[in-house]
Structure 1
Amino acid sequence: MLLAATTVVGAAGAVPASAAPSARPKDGVRAGLERLVQDDRYPAALASTTTRGGQVRDYAVGVADLRTGARAPVDGQVRAGSNTKTFTAVVVLQLVGEGKVELDTPIDHYLPGLVRGEGIDGRAITVRQLLQHTSGLPNYTEFLSAEPFGEDRHRYYQPRDLLDLAFTHKALFAPGTDWSYSNTNYILAGLLIERITGRPFAEQLSKRVIEPLGLRHTYVPAAGDEGLRDAHPRGYHASGPGGALNDVTEMDPSSAWAAGELVSSPSDLSRFFSALLGGRLLKPAQLTEMKTTVRMPDRPGAAAEVRYGLGLMRTQLSCGKAASTC
């Protein structure tokens, strides 16, 4: 069995000669990363794998900087995006295991009066439905600036600002009747953590997950922190297919907060998922809840069925086994 955490960095664009694949023999992981760079035109792709026996192998393909052509750093830091959701869900489920939160209790019990809008009522939305994306809450990221990677990427958002964006729009469906991915759910999960613990979300994530696992390259950026602390490939964004690549490495990640603000590295993510699925972060009852999934809508072009648990997606692989990701 092979557990791999893979992070792809950048967007479509011309690849410098220094990104050409090496002539030495390569395994399937490296071959897949080289296809991303050569065929899909990503500037860089990073990955880390851990075998059942604990052997770790890190990969880096492509370039870290399109301007200089510097090679991508092995195990470089990246913005981990929605992997953050799994970390957030772990902390909520730890609180469940401590008897401080109940999955099937409405979020209004913990955050009274906060979740309100057209067809939106926190008294009818449970904590489970937030973590499972069955709440019906609108996704606030759909209502951010039309140029999220333009100058607005330097704007700082408070979590309540993000909820205001969501709750001015009507609910997508009645809670528990359908499934729709919404970052709004995990902003509320972050606020739930802060309300129950009386401490900042970033601190709780660090004390409960990052520090116990020794994730040296993983952190929640402090307010106003727009860069990455350690060696990293630069991040690029194109407005459309074939569009020019813009360097968006420096950005304020507060618009993602508990739904996607984390900075990490491939090896740290691999260590995290290994520990989580190996039972080191949650009690058995809570890990079972996390891995209990509901069907997601079919995705165009998807080759396998994907199901969603509590901060985890379960994908059926062609070999008959299943893989879990954020």
Structure 2
Amino acid sequence: MTATAVATAGGLAFTGSASAGPADTRRDTLQQGLDKLVGADRHPGALVAVRDRHGRTQHYTAGTGDLRTGERVPVNGKVRIGSASKMFASVVILQLVGEGKVKLDAPIETYLPGLVRAEGVDATKITVRQLLQHNSGLPDYTDAMFSSMADFFSYRHVYLEPRELLDLANARTEGRPTGGGWSYSNTNYLLAGLIAQRVTGRPFNELVTSRVIERIGLRDTYVPGVGDKQIRGRHPHGYQRDPATDKLVDFTTMDPSWGWAAGQLISTPGDLNTFVRALLDGKLLRPAQLAEMRTTITAYPAGQSYGLGLFRTELSCGAVAWGHGGDIPGYSTANAATDDGRAVTVVVTSLNGSVKDESVGADRAALVDAALCGR
């Protein structure tokens, strides 16, 4: 289906009590901001959950959830969250740090002897902290897979084991010096997942489920099983532009195994808000480990820094937001929360690389900012 087939249709639902007056104006403003993200040359659909400082949540939708049938975007539908999964992986590692099973400043060779063999890489000089902070200099295995958007289609139905992904990283030669500054690499979280498995003797997917998802009662979040290419439950369809035809292709069904610990989770905007609030409120980590997670180094773009699986972002109102976005074919997620209890998650149903109007990225950032800064 082409992007011009997208029709705009907004929707709104509430969790908790709603007030009248100024809140109505604010709802209109946020709905209008979401409506701007969809349409011809933009994203097919969008959905958002906004939680205020009192714990009340509003859900919004815009656009089309299925271009074939014309169905609307389901409120709080399930989506692939891509690299927002890194927050979950970091929590697991930091819990193990708090239990004395992992040391943040120990070399990764302590836990994974002989596994990291990329040219010019010395695993005895890379620490667990540097993995979580993207300061290891390790090459990104996804660079070996996706040199262009067309490559997404080649791996759509391919299952890859974590060790196969590591083999791809080990064959790369374009890494950076260890400790030489922030350099985003999915290989870091691939290794974090392998460390968690090694020290516990349990599958990483099980660790995320028992230590995070079940612990805080996330009812709509799960880790896909081996070979699971579907999204279970109500969900908007995700789309990827095929550069060969310039058409949007329904990419909802795919094997996310290549994301593994770095990006394979499925969740909802509401559950992501619940997760990040539980994290910042100290329900998942001990104070010492939460403080480590929030200790940042300079990242990009301007106005951002990066902790251990968390971005720190400066807002227009002077506040600071914490969270982690995520991209995976079909879906792009922005997630952030402030220390006063607010949270917002915005999901669009195609990657920015699949839209023709590139200004939509700035519009989404403005919507996140408005949700966290508005009264």
Q: TM-score by structure 2 length?
A: 0.79
| Alpha-carbon spacing, 1:216–1:36, altered in 2? closer, same or farther (3 Å) | same
Structure 1 residue 78 corresponds to structure 2 residue 79: yes
CA contact under 8 A between 1:132 and 1:311: conserved in structure 2?
yes
Structure 2 residue corresponding to 1:188, chosen from 186, 191, 213: 191
- 1:219 counterpart letter in structure 2: Y
- 1:67 counterpart letter in structure 2: R
Rounded Cα–Cα distance in structure 2 between residues aligned with 1:39 and 1:248: 18
- Identify the range of structure 1 (183-192 vs 304-313) with the bigger mean alpha-carbon deviation: 304-313
Structure 2 residue corresponding to 1:225, chosen from 225, 228, 245: 228
**CA-CA distance at 1:20 after TM superposition:** 3.9
Rounded Cα–Cα distance in structure 1 between residues aligned with 2:160 and 2:188: 16
- 1:280 counterpart letter in structure 2: K
**CA-CA distance at 1:62 after TM superposition:** 1.2
CA contact under 8 A between 1:237 and 1:248: conserved in structure 2?
yes
Structure 2 residue corresponding to 1:243, chosen from 242, 246, 251: 246
Correspondence list, 1:1-326, <5 A: 13-17=3-7, 19-21=8-10, 26-38=27-39, 41-144=42-145, 146=147, 147-170=150-173, 172-239=175-242, 243-297=246-300, 299=301, 304-326=302-324
What count of residue pairs does the alignment treat as equivalent?
310
- Identify the range of structure 1 (172-181 vs 132-141) with the bigger mean alpha-carbon deviation: 172-181
**CA-CA distance at 1:171 after TM superposition:** 5.0
Q: Which residue of 1 aligns with 2:341?
A: none
**CA-CA distance at 1:53 after TM superposition:** 1.2
Q: Deviations over 1:79-107 (max 9, x none)?
A: 01111000000000000011111100000
**CA-CA distance at 1:218 after TM superposition:** 0.5
| Alpha-carbon spacing, 1:101–1:269, altered in 2? closer, same or farther (3 Å) | same
CA contact under 8 A between 2:9 and 2:72: conserved in structure 1?
no
- 1:14 counterpart letter in structure 2: T
Q: Deviations over 1:96-129 (max 9, x none)?
A: 0111111000000011111112111211100000
Secondary structure at 1:120 match in 2: coil
Q: TM-score by structure 1 length?
A: 0.90
- Identify the range of structure 1 (261-270 vs 234-243) with the bigger mean alpha-carbon deviation: 234-243
| Alpha-carbon spacing, 1:16–1:39, altered in 2? closer, same or farther (3 Å) | closer
- 1:318 counterpart letter in structure 2: S
| Alpha-carbon spacing, 1:50–1:12, altered in 2? closer, same or farther (3 Å) | farther
| Alpha-carbon spacing, 1:220–1:238, altered in 2? closer, same or farther (3 Å) | same
Rounded Cα–Cα distance in structure 1 between residues aligned with 2:177 and 2:91: 26
| Alpha-carbon spacing, 1:207–1:12, altered in 2? closer, same or farther (3 Å) | farther
Rounded Cα–Cα distance in structure 1 between residues aligned with 2:283 and 2:2: 38
Indicate the RMSD between aligned Cα atoms, in angstroms: 2.1
- Identify the range of structure 1 (112-121 vs 67-76) with the bigger mean alpha-carbon deviation: 112-121
**CA-CA distance at 1:240 after TM superposition:** 5.1
Q: Which runs of 5+ in 2 are unaligned?
A: 13-23, 325-375
**CA-CA distance at 1:153 after TM superposition:** 0.8
| Alpha-carbon spacing, 1:21–1:76, altered in 2? closer, same or farther (3 Å) | closer
Rounded Cα–Cα distance in structure 1 between residues aligned with 2:162 and 2:263: 12
**CA-CA distance at 1:12 after TM superposition:** 8.6
Q: Which runs of 5+ in 1 are unaligned?
A: 1-10
**CA-CA distance at 1:40 after TM superposition:** 5.7
- 1:62 counterpart letter in structure 2: G
| Alpha-carbon spacing, 1:283–1:40, altered in 2? closer, same or farther (3 Å) | farther
- 2:105 counterpart letter in structure 1: D
**CA-CA distance at 1:21 after TM superposition:** 4.8
Secondary structure at 1:27 match in 2: helix
**CA-CA distance at 1:307 after TM superposition:** 0.4
Q: Deviations over 1:247-267 (max 9, x none)?
A: 111100001000000000000
Q: Which residue of 1 aligns with 2:367?
A: none
Rounded Cα–Cα distance in structure 2 between residues aligned with 1:248 and 1:72: 16
- 2:127 counterpart letter in structure 1: T
Rounded Cα–Cα distance in structure 1 between residues aligned with 2:176 and 2:166: 17
